[in-house]
Chains A and B, each alone.
Chain A
Amino acid sequence: MTAVKIKNVNKIYERGNVHAVQNLNLDIKDGEFVALLGPSGCGKTSTLRMIVGLETISSGIIQFDDVIVNDLTPEQRNVAMAFESYALYPNLSIAENLAFPLEVRGIPLEERTMEVNRIAEMLQISELLNQRPGQLSGGQQQRVSLGRALIREPAVFILDEVLSHLDAHLKFQMLFELKKIHNSLGKTMVYVTHDQMEALALADRVAVMANAKLQQFANRNELYHRPVNRFVADFIGEPSTNFLKARVCTIEQKIVLEVNENLNFYPDLRRQELINEKGLEEVIIGVRPQYLTLQDGTGKESLTAEVLINEYLGERNILEVKNGSDRFRAVVPPECRAIQGDMVKLFYEPNHVLAFDPQTEVCLL
């Protein structure tokens, strides 16, 4: 049981002079499941490797509870890691692979066998124990690699893109399994991924990284409803947020965001105040497609748009619409039969209209 504190950590690669992680601060609580989320090259893997001890820390400190681990070896830190490429020892059988970390620690054979069987049962790989890694499918290898990490009692679990090579069906199954494992073990887990769906599904809190910097560290609700900047708003959510440039106008003492002469957005009072305080003349509006609906309701505002594409996705449709030269998307029920050229009326709640400063791209919250 370990809390991980990352304080002002920097990673600079001398070769190529790359500042891969800039002034990172993360406070991971004991037993928490945290996801590091970001596009490739955002510094999440460097961060993870610094936590594990496979990469030196250029400056700053990393603490496990109250112990500074900067100069400790991976073994001394007692971390377990599952690799993206599985990293199973090809010359050892599955059972030997699983028992490897125990063998290193000098645990007697009997106990090792017991543990291997226990883990194998939990991950449903019992029938594979005598095979070699080369004979296994990707999903099976992935489970073995997880098993090898789980078999000992590490302070922290690190999972590096462990689901990225699995097919969609198996991925869902493993997501569920992972969550179950975390719930039953109650260990601190750090999960690295570029897939926001995985991150949001698994983690108690998600650290969104981009361009070597931490953007936001919050739970899924916060990330979804109160993104700190345009990047987070764009990266979190599927389909991604609609962004529209708008002019700030005042009509009857109310602030109206004019995208074009036929398209106005009406933000809620708090945002009106914020826009006023900042004295902005232009803003970037962000509206999630999920919040543009065909359903009217009390307090909702509306807009009209012309349908370009009605994309049928089974349990929902995505409408690609335009108003003037501005295009955006809306999620509608699958019954929607609108076709190209139809005019639709879309409704939204004013508090779902996000506004971003066009210079800094910071969200007005």
Chain B
Amino acid sequence: MDSATNRLIRYLFLSFLAIWLVFTIFPLYFQFITSLKPVAEINSMVPTFWPETMRPENYSGIFADPGSLKSLIDSLIVSIANTLLSLFLGTLAGYALARFIRGFAGENIAMWILSNRMFPPVAVIIPMFFLFDATPWGTDSYFSLITLYLVFNLPLATWLMMVFFRDAPRELEEAAYLDGFTPLQTFFKVTLPLVFPGMVSVAMLCWIFAWNEYLFANLMTGTTVKTFPVHIPSFTSGSQTLWNLVMAFSMVAMLPPVLLFIFLRRYMVRGLSLGVVKG
């Protein structure tokens, strides 16, 4: 290939990236500026691409409703508790699958666990409602959401942790046994540090799912417990949706995952590429 074609391909590639960037950034940008606009400007026929009148008060306005802060706290409780549970159970199950149940049976069990993640959640949404309604905690509780999200997060956590554990060299564990560690000590002091980056990325994936989940939260909860995705549609005035407040609240709700991702990026990248490059 001559250098002219090479350059052409390079430019094509770069312009594709530029288009892609606009495509992904624009909704965020529009959300951001909308959160700063007054209602009248949002409803104008010709959309503006920068607020004509700035209304940063929108951000304090959303917290005038005490339910806003509570919904964020509810979301935090549900997502953190669910993440810790998924990680704990998924790590143990993943380790067992990676080390003790090998061969054909192990593969099948692991695949079956993962397949739980693949079916459409809507298919079980009604049975789930009745199932949780029958528990002493009812549907509208932290318990219901925390355990319900396990259905989706645990298979993912188990599968990913199994893959990470498989890639962790077994010799290290054997060396630790010989050095005098019990299997449990070995697991915590030798094996877990090896898969730690993987655990971080699994935690992120689980947490983001639990943080963002709307469908089940909307159906199951709403009074005692109200996570923020369920709370968002409540910013209305009469029949009018207050889009500026909706956008401002969404911006606030976006912060925790974005910050978390920035801080844990190092681990995320290492975790997600764990097992991609061997050796």
Bound state CA distance, A89 and B177, in angstroms? 13
Contact assessment for A75 and B194 in the assembled complex, using a CB-CB cutoff below 8 Å: no
Cβ-closest chain B residue relative to A75? B180
- The residues of B that contact A105 with a CB separation of less than 8 Å are 180
* Nearest-Cβ distance from residue B183 to partner chain A, whole angstroms: 9
| Interface: A83 (CB within 8 A) | yes
B180/A83 in contact, CB under 8 A: no
B136 contacts A by Cβ under 8 Å: no
Q: Is B52 an interface residue (CB 8 A)?
A: no
In the complex, whether A54 has a CB less than 8 A from a CB of chain B is: yes
Can you give 7 A-B contacts (C-beta < 8 A)? Answer: A15-B103, A53-B177, A74-B177, A87-B169, A87-B175, A91-B193, A101-B180
Shortest distance from the beta carbon of A83 to any chain B beta carbon, whole Å? 5
B177 near A100: Cβ-Cβ < 8 Å = no
Please state if A89 and B180 are interface contacts (CB–CB under 8 Å): no
Q: Would you call B85 an interface residue if the criterion is a C-beta within 8 Å of the partner chain's C-beta atoms? A: no
Q: Is A52 an interface residue (CB 8 A)?
A: yes
Find out whether the CB atom of A54 lies under 8 angstroms from the CB atom of B177: yes
Please name all residues of chain A whose beta carbon is closer than 8 Å to the beta carbon of B179 when the two chains form the complex: 75, 100-101, 104, 148
Given contacts A15-B103, A75-B180, A100-B179, contact A87 B174 (CB under 8 A): yes
Task: Report the Cα distance A81→B171, complex, angstroms.
Answer: 11
Q: Within 8 Å of chain B (Cβ to Cβ): is A85?
A: yes
What is the CB-to-nearest-CB distance from B230 to chain A, in angstroms, rounded to a whole number? 42
* Residues from chain A with Cβ under 8 Å of B176 in the complex: 89, 100
Please provide the chain A residues from 93 to 121 with a CB less than 8 Å away from any CB of chain B in the complex.
Answer: 100-101, 104-105
Cα distance, A105 to B182, chains bound together (Å) = 12
Given A15-B103, A90-B194, A91-B194: A75 and B171 interface contact (C-beta under 8 Å): no
List residues of chain A with CB within 8 A of the CB of B175: 81, 83, 87, 89, 148
Pairwise interchain contact B194-A52, C-beta atoms closer than 8 A: no
Complex CA–CA separation, A266 to B164 (angstroms): 64
CA–CA, A50 and B256, complex, Å: 52
In the complex, A85→B176 CA distance in Å?
14
The answer to whether B181 has its CB under 8 Å from any CB of chain A is yes
Closest chain B CB from A52 CB (angstroms): 7
- Closest 9 pairs between A and B when the two form their complex, measured CB to CB: A87-B171, A104-B180, A87-B175, A101-B179, A91-B193, A75-B180, A74-B178, A74-B177, A83-B171
Q: How far is it, in angstroms, between the C-alpha of A286 and the C-alpha of B38 when the chains are bound?
A: 99
* Contact pattern, A 1-28, Cβ under 8 Å of B = 1, otherwise 0: 0000000000000010000000000000
B168's closest neighbor in chain A, by CB?
A90
Q: Considering residues B103, B171, B177, which has the most beta carbons from chain A within 10 angstroms of its beta carbon?
A: B171
Q: How large is the interface on B (under 10, 10 to 19, 20 to 34, 35 or more residues)?
A: 10 to 19
Q: How far is the CB of B13 from chain A (nearest CB, A)?
A: 34
Which chain A positions have C-beta within 8 A of B177? 53-54, 73-75
A292 within 8 A of B: no
Q: Which of A15, A79, A101, A105 has the most CB of B within 10 A?
A: A101
Residue of B103, B172, B178 near A75 (CB, 8 A) is: B178
Chain A residues whose CB sits within 8 angstroms of the CB of B174 once the complex forms: 54, 74, 81, 83, 87
Which residues in A have their C-beta under 8 angstroms from that of B103? Answer: 15
Decide if B190 is an interface residue (CB 8 Å cutoff). Answer: yes
The main secondary structure of chain B at its interface with chain A is helix
- B171 proximity list for chain A (CB < 8 A): 83, 85, 87
Q: Which residues of B contact A83 (CB under 8 A)?
A: 171, 174-175
Query: What's the nearest-Cβ distance from chain B to residue A164, in Å?
Result: 14
Cα distance A270–B178 in the bound complex, in angstroms? 50
Q: Which parts of B216-257 form the interface with A (CB within 8 Å)?
A: none
Q: Does A223 contact B (CB under 8 A)?
A: no
A363→B179 CA distance, assembly (Å): 44
Residues of B within 8 A of A146 (CB): none
Is there an interface contact between B193 and A79, defined as CB atoms closer than 8 Å? Answer: no
Give chain B nearest CB distance to A159 CB in angstroms: 12
Question: For the complex, is A80 an interface residue (Cβ under 8 Å from B)?
Answer: yes
Contacts of B180 in A (CB 8 A): 75, 101, 104-105
Cα-based distance from A75 to B169 in the complex (angstroms): 20
Closest chain A residue, CB of each to CB of B180: A104
Q: Are B178's CB and A80's CB within 8 A?
A: yes
Q: How far is the CB of A2 from chain B (nearest CB, A)?
A: 15
Residue of A nearest to B193 (CB): A91
CA distance A115 to B30 in the complex (A): 65
Q: Which residue of B lies closest to A86 (CB)?
A: B171
Name the CB-closest residue of A to B192.
A91
Considering the complex, which residues of chain A in the window 23-59 have a beta carbon less than 8 Å from any beta carbon of chain B? 52-54
Residues of chain A within 8 A of B178, CB atoms compared: 52, 54, 74-75, 79-81
Which residues of A lie under 8 Å from residue B169 when comparing CB positions? 85, 87
Interface centre among B102, B172, B180, B185 (most CB of A within 10 A): B180
Smallest CB–CB gap between B178 and chain A, Å? 5
> Smallest CB-CB separation from A73: which chain B residue?
B177
Minimum CB distance partner of B181 in chain A = A104
Distance of A48 from chain B, by nearest CB (Å) = 11
Residues of B within 8 A of A53 (CB): 177
Report B37 CB to chain A, min CB distance, Å.
51
Cα A206 to Cα B171 in complex, Å, equals 25
